Amino acid sequence: MAARASIILAAGQGTRMKSNLPKVMHEVGGRPMIDWAIELAKSAGCERIVVVLSPMQTELQARIRARLGDGSVAIQSEPLGTGHAALAAKDALQGFEGSAIVQFGDTPLIPPEPVEALFKAVEARPAIGVLGFEAAHAGAYGRLIETEDGQLSAIVEAKDATPEQRSVTLCNSGVMAARASDMFRLLAQVRNDNAKGEYYLTDLVALGAVEGVPSTVVRCNEADTLGVNSRAQLAEAEASFQSRMRQEALDRGVTLTCPETVFFNYDTQVETDVVIEPNVVFGAGVEVRSGARIRAFSHLEGAIVSSGCEVGPYARLRPGTVLEERAKIGNFVEVKKTRVGAGAKANHLAYLGDGEIGAGANIGAGTIFCNYDGFFKHKTIIGAGAFVGSNSALVAPVSIGNGAYIGSGSVITKDVDADALSVARSGQIEKSGWGHAFREKMSARKAETKM
Protein backbone atom coordinates (compact mmCIF):
# COMPACT_ATOMS: atom_id res chain seq x y z
CA MET A 1 0.00 0.00 0.00
CA ALA A 2 1.20 3.48 -0.83
CA ALA A 3 2.27 5.64 2.08
CA ARG A 4 -0.46 7.68 3.70
CA ALA A 5 -0.42 10.80 5.84
CA SER A 6 -2.99 12.92 7.59
CA ILE A 7 -3.01 16.64 8.26
CA ILE A 8 -5.44 17.51 11.02
CA LEU A 9 -6.44 21.17 11.20
CA ALA A 10 -7.05 22.38 14.75
CA ALA A 11 -5.57 25.87 14.91
CA GLY A 12 -8.93 27.64 15.01
CA GLN A 13 -9.85 29.58 18.14
CA GLY A 14 -13.06 27.75 18.89
CA THR A 15 -14.43 30.88 20.58
CA ARG A 16 -18.04 29.80 20.20
CA MET A 17 -17.44 26.96 22.66
CA LYS A 18 -16.93 29.60 25.40
CA SER A 19 -14.38 27.38 27.08
CA ASN A 20 -10.94 27.47 28.64
CA LEU A 21 -10.34 24.04 27.17
CA PRO A 22 -9.19 23.93 23.52
CA LYS A 23 -12.21 23.08 21.38
CA VAL A 24 -10.76 19.81 20.11
CA MET A 25 -10.23 18.57 23.69
CA HIS A 26 -13.96 18.50 24.32
CA GLU A 27 -15.18 14.92 24.39
CA VAL A 28 -17.64 12.93 22.36
CA GLY A 29 -18.36 9.46 23.70
CA GLY A 30 -15.72 10.04 26.38
CA ARG A 31 -12.94 10.69 23.86
CA PRO A 32 -11.51 14.12 22.96
CA MET A 33 -12.49 15.17 19.45
CA ILE A 34 -8.84 15.46 18.42
CA ASP A 35 -8.38 11.79 19.34
CA TRP A 36 -11.31 10.81 17.13
CA ALA A 37 -9.53 12.51 14.25
CA ILE A 38 -6.22 10.85 15.11
CA GLU A 39 -7.83 7.42 15.42
CA LEU A 40 -9.57 7.88 12.08
CA ALA A 41 -6.21 8.68 10.47
CA LYS A 42 -4.66 5.62 12.11
CA SER A 43 -7.49 3.37 10.98
CA ALA A 44 -6.82 4.53 7.42
CA GLY A 45 -3.22 3.40 7.85
CA CYS A 46 -1.68 6.87 8.01
CA GLU A 47 1.92 6.45 9.03
CA ARG A 48 2.42 10.19 9.40
CA ILE A 49 -0.03 12.38 11.27
CA VAL A 50 0.52 16.10 11.58
CA VAL A 51 -1.75 18.22 13.74
CA VAL A 52 -1.82 21.90 12.86
CA LEU A 53 -2.10 24.09 15.97
CA SER A 54 -1.82 27.74 16.84
CA PRO A 55 1.22 29.12 18.70
CA MET A 56 -1.01 29.72 21.74
CA GLN A 57 -2.09 26.10 22.16
CA THR A 58 1.02 25.07 24.08
CA GLU A 59 -0.59 22.41 26.26
CA LEU A 60 -2.24 20.81 23.28
CA GLN A 61 1.05 20.89 21.38
CA ALA A 62 2.73 19.03 24.25
CA ARG A 63 -0.08 16.49 24.44
CA ILE A 64 0.08 15.72 20.73
CA ARG A 65 3.87 15.43 20.77
CA ALA A 66 3.68 13.07 23.74
CA ARG A 67 1.17 10.94 21.91
CA LEU A 68 2.44 11.00 18.33
CA GLY A 69 6.08 12.00 18.69
CA ASP A 70 8.13 14.98 17.54
CA GLY A 71 7.26 16.13 14.07
CA SER A 72 3.58 15.52 14.68
CA VAL A 73 2.83 19.18 15.40
CA ALA A 74 2.90 22.01 12.87
CA ILE A 75 2.33 25.57 13.96
CA GLN A 76 0.15 27.91 11.95
CA SER A 77 1.44 31.36 12.86
CA GLU A 78 -1.90 33.12 12.25
CA PRO A 79 -5.38 31.76 11.44
CA LEU A 80 -5.48 32.83 7.81
CA GLY A 81 -7.69 30.04 6.55
CA THR A 82 -7.85 26.30 5.98
CA GLY A 83 -5.52 26.42 2.97
CA HIS A 84 -2.94 28.35 4.96
CA ALA A 85 -3.31 25.88 7.83
CA ALA A 86 -2.80 22.84 5.60
CA LEU A 87 0.27 24.44 4.03
CA ALA A 88 1.72 24.83 7.54
CA ALA A 89 2.16 21.04 7.60
CA LYS A 90 4.50 21.10 4.61
CA ASP A 91 7.77 21.14 6.56
CA ALA A 92 6.63 18.39 8.88
CA LEU A 93 5.92 16.22 5.83
CA GLN A 94 9.18 17.05 4.06
CA GLY A 95 10.31 14.02 2.11
CA PHE A 96 6.96 12.23 2.44
CA GLU A 97 5.98 10.84 -0.94
CA GLY A 98 2.57 9.26 -0.57
CA SER A 99 -0.95 10.62 -0.37
CA ALA A 100 -2.29 12.94 2.28
CA ILE A 101 -5.70 13.64 3.66
CA VAL A 102 -6.74 16.89 5.32
CA GLN A 103 -9.16 16.45 8.21
CA PHE A 104 -10.64 18.87 10.72
CA GLY A 105 -10.01 18.35 14.43
CA ASP A 106 -13.59 19.24 15.31
CA THR A 107 -15.37 16.65 13.19
CA PRO A 108 -15.50 13.52 15.32
CA LEU A 109 -18.07 11.32 13.58
CA ILE A 110 -16.54 10.52 10.20
CA PRO A 111 -16.52 6.75 9.68
CA PRO A 112 -13.48 4.98 8.16
CA GLU A 113 -15.07 3.84 4.89
CA PRO A 114 -15.28 7.18 3.04
CA VAL A 115 -11.73 8.03 4.12
CA GLU A 116 -10.52 4.77 2.65
CA ALA A 117 -12.41 5.58 -0.55
CA LEU A 118 -10.79 9.03 -0.72
CA PHE A 119 -7.30 7.60 -0.39
CA LYS A 120 -8.04 4.91 -3.00
CA ALA A 121 -9.32 7.57 -5.39
CA VAL A 122 -6.13 9.62 -5.24
CA GLU A 123 -3.82 6.61 -5.17
CA ALA A 124 -5.30 5.22 -8.37
CA ARG A 125 -4.27 8.31 -10.35
CA PRO A 126 -3.26 11.88 -9.53
CA ALA A 127 -6.48 13.50 -8.34
CA ILE A 128 -8.08 15.53 -5.61
CA GLY A 129 -10.62 13.71 -3.51
CA VAL A 130 -13.37 15.62 -1.75
CA LEU A 131 -15.68 14.19 0.87
CA GLY A 132 -19.11 15.59 0.07
CA PHE A 133 -22.65 15.15 1.30
CA GLU A 134 -26.19 16.16 0.44
CA ALA A 135 -27.08 18.85 2.97
CA ALA A 136 -30.59 19.25 4.34
CA HIS A 137 -29.79 22.93 4.86
CA ALA A 138 -26.69 23.87 2.91
CA GLY A 139 -26.30 27.13 4.87
CA ALA A 140 -22.67 28.19 5.25
CA TYR A 141 -21.16 25.05 3.73
CA GLY A 142 -18.96 25.18 0.67
CA ARG A 143 -20.86 24.07 -2.45
CA LEU A 144 -19.51 21.40 -4.77
CA ILE A 145 -19.88 22.75 -8.29
CA GLU A 146 -20.06 20.13 -11.00
CA THR A 147 -19.82 20.56 -14.77
CA GLU A 148 -22.57 19.25 -17.01
CA ASP A 149 -20.81 15.90 -17.39
CA GLY A 150 -20.65 15.47 -13.62
CA GLN A 151 -17.02 16.54 -13.13
CA LEU A 152 -16.26 18.46 -9.95
CA SER A 153 -14.90 21.79 -11.16
CA ALA A 154 -14.78 23.94 -8.05
CA ILE A 155 -15.80 24.35 -4.43
CA VAL A 156 -17.38 27.70 -3.78
CA GLU A 157 -17.76 28.97 -0.23
CA ALA A 158 -21.29 30.14 0.59
CA LYS A 159 -20.17 33.73 1.01
CA ASP A 160 -18.59 33.76 -2.44
CA ALA A 161 -21.35 31.87 -4.22
CA THR A 162 -23.76 33.24 -6.80
CA PRO A 163 -27.44 32.64 -6.00
CA GLU A 164 -27.41 29.82 -8.53
CA GLN A 165 -24.38 28.21 -6.89
CA ARG A 166 -25.93 28.68 -3.48
CA SER A 167 -28.90 26.56 -4.56
CA VAL A 168 -26.58 23.56 -4.90
CA THR A 169 -27.16 21.07 -2.07
CA LEU A 170 -24.07 18.90 -2.56
CA CYS A 171 -21.71 20.31 0.04
CA ASN A 172 -18.12 20.08 1.22
CA SER A 173 -17.48 18.18 4.45
CA GLY A 174 -14.03 19.73 4.66
CA VAL A 175 -12.11 16.48 4.24
CA MET A 176 -9.91 16.40 1.17
CA ALA A 177 -7.21 14.10 -0.14
CA ALA A 178 -4.46 14.36 -2.74
CA ARG A 179 -0.98 13.13 -3.40
CA ALA A 180 1.25 15.16 -1.09
CA SER A 181 3.24 16.58 -4.01
CA ASP A 182 0.07 17.82 -5.74
CA MET A 183 -1.36 19.10 -2.50
CA PHE A 184 1.56 21.27 -1.46
CA ARG A 185 2.25 22.50 -5.01
CA LEU A 186 -1.38 23.62 -5.39
CA LEU A 187 -1.64 24.99 -1.83
CA ALA A 188 1.25 27.33 -2.58
CA GLN A 189 -0.88 28.85 -5.37
CA VAL A 190 -3.93 29.57 -3.18
CA ARG A 191 -4.74 33.29 -2.87
CA ASN A 192 -6.98 35.09 -0.39
CA ASP A 193 -8.93 37.34 -2.79
CA ASN A 194 -12.34 36.16 -1.62
CA ALA A 195 -15.22 37.21 0.60
CA LYS A 196 -13.51 36.19 3.84
CA GLY A 197 -10.02 37.26 2.85
CA GLU A 198 -8.84 33.75 3.78
CA TYR A 199 -6.69 31.15 2.09
CA TYR A 200 -9.21 28.45 1.22
CA LEU A 201 -8.17 24.81 1.13
CA THR A 202 -11.14 24.30 -1.14
CA ASP A 203 -9.42 26.26 -3.93
CA LEU A 204 -7.39 23.13 -4.64
CA VAL A 205 -10.21 21.85 -6.79
CA ALA A 206 -10.24 24.76 -9.24
CA LEU A 207 -6.44 25.04 -9.20
CA GLY A 208 -6.11 21.33 -9.87
CA ALA A 209 -8.49 21.57 -12.82
CA VAL A 210 -6.21 24.14 -14.44
CA GLU A 211 -3.23 21.80 -14.10
CA GLY A 212 -5.12 18.74 -15.29
CA VAL A 213 -5.45 17.17 -11.81
CA PRO A 214 -9.12 16.16 -11.76
CA SER A 215 -11.28 16.14 -8.66
CA THR A 216 -13.60 13.43 -7.53
CA VAL A 217 -16.32 13.35 -4.88
CA VAL A 218 -16.77 10.63 -2.30
CA ARG A 219 -20.14 10.92 -0.60
CA CYS A 220 -21.09 10.38 3.03
CA ASN A 221 -24.08 11.13 5.25
CA GLU A 222 -24.54 14.64 6.55
CA ALA A 223 -24.69 13.38 10.16
CA ASP A 224 -21.22 11.85 9.77
CA THR A 225 -19.61 15.18 8.91
CA LEU A 226 -21.07 17.23 11.74
CA GLY A 227 -18.53 19.84 12.77
CA VAL A 228 -18.61 21.05 16.37
CA ASN A 229 -18.41 24.81 16.86
CA SER A 230 -20.65 25.27 19.89
CA ARG A 231 -21.86 23.41 22.96
CA ALA A 232 -25.14 22.76 21.19
CA GLN A 233 -23.31 21.06 18.33
CA LEU A 234 -21.20 19.15 20.86
CA ALA A 235 -24.44 17.82 22.35
CA GLU A 236 -25.68 17.03 18.86
CA ALA A 237 -22.50 15.12 18.08
CA GLU A 238 -22.84 13.22 21.36
CA ALA A 239 -26.44 12.31 20.56
CA SER A 240 -25.43 11.11 17.15
CA PHE A 241 -22.57 9.05 18.59
CA GLN A 242 -24.90 7.52 21.19
CA SER A 243 -27.52 6.51 18.67
CA ARG A 244 -24.82 4.92 16.53
CA MET A 245 -23.51 2.93 19.52
CA ARG A 246 -27.03 1.83 20.49
CA GLN A 247 -27.78 0.68 16.98
CA GLU A 248 -24.50 -1.24 16.82
CA ALA A 249 -25.26 -2.92 20.15
CA LEU A 250 -28.75 -3.92 19.01
CA ASP A 251 -27.37 -5.24 15.72
CA ARG A 252 -24.83 -7.31 17.62
CA GLY A 253 -27.51 -9.05 19.68
CA VAL A 254 -27.57 -6.97 22.83
CA THR A 255 -30.96 -6.29 24.40
CA LEU A 256 -31.55 -2.64 25.26
CA THR A 257 -34.96 -2.38 26.84
CA CYS A 258 -35.08 1.35 26.25
CA PRO A 259 -32.13 2.19 23.99
CA GLU A 260 -32.37 5.96 24.17
CA THR A 261 -31.69 5.90 27.93
CA VAL A 262 -28.45 3.90 27.72
CA PHE A 263 -25.23 5.90 27.36
CA PHE A 264 -22.06 4.32 26.06
CA ASN A 265 -18.42 5.33 26.10
CA TYR A 266 -16.46 5.01 22.86
CA ASP A 267 -14.64 1.91 24.19
CA THR A 268 -17.60 0.10 25.78
CA GLN A 269 -17.59 -3.60 24.92
CA VAL A 270 -20.85 -5.44 25.34
CA GLU A 271 -21.16 -9.00 24.09
CA THR A 272 -24.09 -10.77 22.52
CA ASP A 273 -26.97 -11.70 24.81
CA VAL A 274 -26.28 -9.09 27.41
CA VAL A 275 -29.42 -7.38 28.69
CA ILE A 276 -29.19 -3.71 29.56
CA GLU A 277 -32.19 -2.25 31.31
CA PRO A 278 -33.15 1.44 31.12
CA ASN A 279 -31.02 4.31 32.40
CA VAL A 280 -27.59 2.74 32.43
CA VAL A 281 -24.44 4.84 31.96
CA PHE A 282 -21.09 3.46 30.84
CA GLY A 283 -17.91 5.39 31.60
CA ALA A 284 -14.54 4.44 30.13
CA GLY A 285 -13.21 0.91 30.06
CA VAL A 286 -16.17 -1.41 30.57
CA GLU A 287 -16.47 -4.94 29.24
CA VAL A 288 -19.67 -6.90 29.71
CA ARG A 289 -19.62 -10.57 28.78
CA SER A 290 -22.33 -12.62 27.20
CA GLY A 291 -25.33 -13.42 29.36
CA ALA A 292 -24.80 -10.71 31.96
CA ARG A 293 -27.62 -8.42 32.96
CA ILE A 294 -27.20 -4.76 33.84
CA ARG A 295 -30.27 -3.60 35.66
CA ALA A 296 -31.77 -0.15 35.64
CA PHE A 297 -30.02 2.99 36.92
CA SER A 298 -26.53 1.56 37.15
CA HIS A 299 -23.26 3.39 36.48
CA LEU A 300 -20.23 1.39 35.32
CA GLU A 301 -16.69 2.55 34.74
CA GLY A 302 -13.44 0.59 34.34
CA ALA A 303 -15.19 -2.68 35.12
CA ILE A 304 -15.28 -6.20 33.76
CA VAL A 305 -18.59 -7.99 34.16
CA SER A 306 -18.45 -11.71 33.38
CA SER A 307 -21.06 -14.06 32.02
CA GLY A 308 -24.13 -14.60 34.12
CA CYS A 309 -23.46 -11.65 36.41
CA GLU A 310 -26.24 -9.39 37.57
CA VAL A 311 -25.55 -5.75 38.36
CA GLY A 312 -28.01 -3.30 39.88
CA PRO A 313 -30.55 -1.85 39.89
CA TYR A 314 -28.78 1.26 41.24
CA ALA A 315 -25.30 -0.21 41.36
CA ARG A 316 -22.06 1.65 40.87
CA LEU A 317 -19.01 -0.15 39.51
CA ARG A 318 -15.85 1.94 39.61
CA PRO A 319 -12.45 1.38 37.99
CA GLY A 320 -10.71 -1.87 38.85
CA THR A 321 -13.88 -3.85 39.43
CA VAL A 322 -13.81 -7.41 38.16
CA LEU A 323 -16.92 -9.52 38.58
CA GLU A 324 -16.32 -13.18 37.90
CA GLU A 325 -19.00 -15.50 36.51
CA ARG A 326 -22.44 -15.23 38.11
CA ALA A 327 -21.40 -12.68 40.74
CA LYS A 328 -24.23 -10.40 41.90
CA ILE A 329 -23.96 -6.76 42.82
CA GLY A 330 -27.28 -5.38 43.96
CA ASN A 331 -28.90 -2.06 44.74
CA PHE A 332 -26.86 0.75 46.26
CA VAL A 333 -23.62 -1.22 46.21
CA GLU A 334 -20.43 0.57 45.20
CA VAL A 335 -17.46 -1.50 44.08
CA LYS A 336 -13.97 -0.14 43.42
CA LYS A 337 -10.70 -1.96 42.64
CA THR A 338 -12.19 -5.19 43.85
CA ARG A 339 -12.35 -8.66 42.39
CA VAL A 340 -15.61 -10.41 43.20
CA GLY A 341 -15.30 -14.19 42.86
CA ALA A 342 -17.60 -16.46 40.93
CA GLY A 343 -21.10 -16.59 42.37
CA ALA A 344 -20.26 -14.18 45.20
CA LYS A 345 -22.99 -11.75 46.21
CA ALA A 346 -23.31 -8.28 47.64
CA ASN A 347 -26.97 -7.66 47.18
CA HIS A 348 -27.62 -4.46 49.06
CA LEU A 349 -26.09 -1.26 50.39
CA ALA A 350 -22.35 -1.87 50.60
CA TYR A 351 -18.98 -0.31 49.81
CA LEU A 352 -16.40 -2.77 48.53
CA GLY A 353 -13.11 -0.99 47.86
CA ASP A 354 -9.58 -2.38 47.37
CA GLY A 355 -10.71 -5.91 48.04
CA GLU A 356 -10.72 -9.49 46.94
CA ILE A 357 -13.80 -11.55 47.51
CA GLY A 358 -13.62 -15.32 47.12
CA ALA A 359 -16.05 -17.43 45.12
CA GLY A 360 -19.47 -17.87 46.64
CA ALA A 361 -18.90 -15.42 49.50
CA ASN A 362 -21.93 -13.53 50.80
CA ILE A 363 -21.54 -9.88 51.73
CA GLY A 364 -24.40 -8.69 53.90
CA ALA A 365 -26.31 -5.44 53.61
CA GLY A 366 -24.46 -2.43 54.96
CA THR A 367 -20.99 -3.98 54.82
CA ILE A 368 -18.20 -1.46 54.48
CA PHE A 369 -14.61 -2.15 53.50
CA CYS A 370 -12.87 0.57 55.53
CA ASN A 371 -10.04 0.86 53.04
CA TYR A 372 -8.67 4.33 53.73
CA ASP A 373 -6.95 5.73 56.80
CA GLY A 374 -6.74 9.23 55.43
CA PHE A 375 -3.26 8.59 53.99
CA PHE A 376 -3.08 5.11 52.49
CA LYS A 377 -5.45 2.58 50.97
CA HIS A 378 -5.45 -0.95 52.39
CA LYS A 379 -6.78 -4.29 51.21
CA THR A 380 -9.64 -6.40 52.45
CA ILE A 381 -9.49 -10.08 51.54
CA ILE A 382 -12.48 -12.32 51.96
CA GLY A 383 -12.13 -16.07 51.49
CA ALA A 384 -14.28 -18.31 49.36
CA GLY A 385 -17.65 -19.12 50.87
CA ALA A 386 -17.24 -16.65 53.75
CA PHE A 387 -20.34 -14.99 55.17
CA VAL A 388 -20.16 -11.38 56.28
CA GLY A 389 -23.14 -10.44 58.44
CA SER A 390 -25.03 -7.22 57.80
CA ASN A 391 -23.71 -3.87 58.86
CA SER A 392 -20.12 -5.02 59.37
CA ALA A 393 -17.16 -2.70 59.08
CA LEU A 394 -14.02 -4.50 57.91
CA VAL A 395 -11.07 -2.32 58.80
CA ALA A 396 -8.33 -2.92 56.25
CA PRO A 397 -5.77 -4.35 56.02
CA VAL A 398 -7.70 -7.38 57.08
CA SER A 399 -8.42 -10.85 55.80
CA ILE A 400 -11.29 -13.20 56.46
CA GLY A 401 -10.57 -16.90 55.93
CA ASN A 402 -12.47 -19.28 53.66
CA GLY A 403 -15.83 -20.28 55.04
CA ALA A 404 -15.60 -17.93 58.04
CA TYR A 405 -18.60 -16.11 59.51
CA ILE A 406 -18.71 -12.52 60.68
CA GLY A 407 -21.48 -11.64 63.10
CA SER A 408 -23.73 -8.75 62.08
CA GLY A 409 -22.70 -5.33 63.24
CA SER A 410 -19.08 -6.33 63.80
CA VAL A 411 -16.14 -3.99 63.48
CA ILE A 412 -13.42 -6.37 62.36
CA THR A 413 -9.88 -5.13 62.85
CA LYS A 414 -7.98 -8.44 63.05
CA ASP A 415 -7.67 -11.32 60.59
CA VAL A 416 -10.23 -14.10 60.96
CA ASP A 417 -9.28 -17.77 60.48
CA ALA A 418 -10.94 -20.03 57.97
CA ASP A 419 -14.23 -21.48 59.22
CA ALA A 420 -14.16 -19.38 62.41
CA LEU A 421 -17.00 -17.20 63.69
CA SER A 422 -15.93 -13.72 64.65
CA VAL A 423 -18.22 -11.30 66.43
CA ALA A 424 -16.87 -7.88 67.31
CA ARG A 425 -19.63 -5.85 68.95
CA SER A 426 -20.55 -5.15 72.53
CA GLY A 427 -22.46 -7.98 74.13
CA GLN A 428 -26.21 -7.76 74.49
CA ILE A 429 -27.54 -7.07 77.98
CA GLU A 430 -31.12 -7.56 79.20
CA LYS A 431 -32.79 -6.13 82.32
CA SER A 432 -36.08 -7.81 82.95
CA GLY A 433 -39.05 -5.63 83.86
CA TRP A 434 -37.05 -2.46 83.18
CA GLY A 435 -39.62 -0.98 80.80
CA HIS A 436 -42.47 -1.23 83.24
CA ALA A 437 -40.44 0.19 86.14
CA PHE A 438 -39.22 3.06 83.98
CA ARG A 439 -42.71 4.05 82.92
CA GLU A 440 -43.96 3.98 86.52
CA LYS A 441 -41.10 6.15 87.73
CA MET A 442 -41.46 8.70 84.96
CA SER A 443 -45.25 9.06 85.18
CA ALA A 444 -44.93 9.68 88.92
CA ARG A 445 -42.35 12.39 88.27
CA LYS A 446 -44.59 14.07 85.72
CA ALA A 447 -47.59 14.01 88.05
CA GLU A 448 -45.50 15.76 90.73
CA THR A 449 -44.55 18.64 88.43
CA LYS A 450 -48.24 19.27 87.62
CA MET A 451 -49.27 19.76 91.23
230 is a contact residue toward Ca ion (CB under 5 A): no
Q: Which is nearer to ligand UD1, 38 or 155 (CB)?
A: 155
Q: Which of Ca ion, ligand UD1, none lies near 11, with the C-beta cut-off 5 to 8 A by kind?
A: ligand UD1
Q: Which is nearer to ligand UD1, 240 or 362 (CB)?
A: 240
Residue span 107-146 as binding mask against ligand UD1, x where in contact by CB under 6 A, dash where not:
----------------------------------xx----
187 is a contact residue toward ligand UD1 (CB under 6 A): no
Of the candidates 283, 85, 50, 101, the residue with the CA atom closest to the CA atom of residue 192? 85
The nearest distance, CB 192 to ligand UD1, in angstroms, is 11
Q: Which is nearer to ligand UD1, 105 or 401 (CB)?
A: 105
178 is a contact residue toward ligand UD1 (CB under 6 A): no
Q: Which is nearer to ligand UD1, 227 or 320 (CB)?
A: 227
16 is a contact residue toward Ca ion (CB under 5 A): no
302 is a contact residue toward Ca ion (CB under 5 A): no
* DSSP bridge partners of 176: 102, 130
Write out the binding residues for ligand UD1, residues 59-98 only, by CB under 6 A.
Answer: 76, 79-82, 84-85
Choose one: 87-95, 225-233, 243-251, 284-292; the region binding Ca ion (CB under 5 A).
Answer: 225-233
36 is a contact residue toward ligand UD1 (CB under 6 A): no
Which of 227, 320, 403, 407 is in the footprint of ligand UD1 by CB under 6 A? Answer: 227
The nearest distance, CB 76 to Ca ion, in angstroms, is 15
172 is a contact residue toward ligand UD1 (CB under 6 A): yes
Residue span 3-32 as binding mask against ligand UD1, x where in contact by CB under 6 A, dash where not:
------xxxx--------------------
Query: Directed axis angle between helix 33-43 and helix 58-68, to 10°?
Result: 30
Q: Which is nearer to ligand UD1, 90 or 378 (CB)?
A: 90
Which of 6, 72, 99, 202 is in the footprint of ligand UD1 by CB under 6 A? Answer: 202
259 is a contact residue toward Ca ion (CB under 5 A): no
Q: Which residue numbers are catalytic?
A: 348
Interface residue list for ligand UD1 (CB under 6 A):
9-12, 52, 76, 79-82, 84-85, 104-106, 141-142, 155, 157, 171-174, 200-202, 227
Interface residue list for Ca ion (CB under 5 A):
227
